[in-house]
Amino acid sequence: MHHCALEPGQTGLCRARKNEGGEIICDNYGWITSLALDPIEKKPLYDFHPGSMILSVGSYGCNLRCPFCQNHEISMTDGKDLGAENVSSRQLADLALMWKEQNKEGNIGVAYTYNEPLVGWEFVRDTARLVREYGMFNVLVTNGTASKEVLEELLPWIDAMNIDLKGFREEYYQKLGGDLETVKAFIMRAAGSSHVELTTLIVPGENDSLEDMETQAKWIASLRPSIPLHITRFFPRYRMRDREATDVEQLYRLAGMAGKYLEKVYVGNV
């Protein structure tokens, strides 16, 4: 999204892409920092094969700079000193299949999550193709800050997404190093091709007004009122430890506002 102009040897803002010999490469390709078998509801995806387990995988790097990031240990680093392990796409797909066949709770596929998977979209694409060959699902958990070209590369292989919609004001996105219109375009295209659920973390004093939520919910409803929206509670994290956790009553007021326009609104982290 940032289209960093990099000199040879220089790494981009995301810390995952690098100019090597005049060519921009995916420096975090295959480097895995996190791997776990999770309930699908943790993504969160409530309306995509509920009750299932999914192999969740993360690398390092992110193209935003959210001061409240819950996974800043991996998203805000360049991968050094993380104990990352290099895994091929085939190895990861084989692992997903093994968990499907040998785990008593099963496994429906692979979720690309924890850090921002789109900074290493090539590995997501290559792995997702193999996972699909095994008849399993691919889930993308993303901030939606990516170009249309990247999204089009992935859409044929992605079955479901949870997309962070951080808020609904451009100035708020600028604080986070992003762009609201880019995310809206990403959501619009994704919702026309795969199962999509949205998540908004409510940060006190930033995106917690009823007016903002009404505007956001109306826009989502204009795409499709059945798109699920997860409204989640903020807790002090990373560089935003000076804020109180989101007031639970306000969280439910916001959910009530969103529910005037959307069919499915879920409240999380309460």
Distance CA 240, CA 204 (A): 11
Name 184's Cβ contacts closer than 8 Å, sequence gap at least 6. 219
Residue 115 inside a domain? The answer is yes
- Which run of H or of E encompasses 198? strand 195-202
The 10s digit of each residue's pLDDT in 91-113 is 999 999 999 999 889 999 999 99
pLDDT at 22: 65
CATH number of the domain residue 25 falls in: 3.20.20.70
With respect to residue 12, please indicate whether it lies within any of the assigned structural domains: no
CB 199 within 8 A of CB 87: no
Q: Is the peptide bond between 44 and the residue preceding it cis, with omega within 30 degrees of 0?
A: yes
pLDDT given for residue 76 in this prediction: 65
Residues of the chain with pLDDT under 70: 1-25, 76, 79-80
- pLDDT for the residue 237: 86
Any domain includes 99: yes
Q: What is the Rg, in whole angstroms, of the alpha carbon atoms belonging to the chain?
A: 18
* pLDDT value of residue 23: 67
pLDDT at residue 66 in the model: 87
Sorted by sequence, the CB contacts under 8 Å of residue 171 that are 6+ apart come out as none
Give the pLDDT score at 75: 72
pLDDT at 70: 84
Q: Is residue 1 part of a domain?
A: no
Burial of 228 (0-12, 13-18, 19+ CB in 10 A): buried
Q: What is the pLDDT of residue 6?
A: 46
Tens of pLDDT, residue by residue over 187-196, are 999 999 999 9
Domain count for the chain, please give it. Answer: 1
Residue 7 lies in a domain: no
Give me the torsion for CA of 116, 3, 31, 52, rounded to 10°. Answer: 30
Closest CA to 267 of 251, 253, 245: 251
For residue 64, tell me if it sits in a domain.
yes
Predicted local confidence at residue 68, as pLDDT: 85
Q: Tell me, yes or no, whether 11 lies in a domain.
A: no
Q: Which residues are paired to 112 by β-bridges?
A: 57, 140
Contact 114, 62 (CB under 8 A): no
Helix, strand, coil share (%) of the chain residues, nearest 5: 35, 20, 45
Angstrom distance (rounded) from CA 162 to CA 187: 10
- Residue 4: inside a domain, yes or no? no
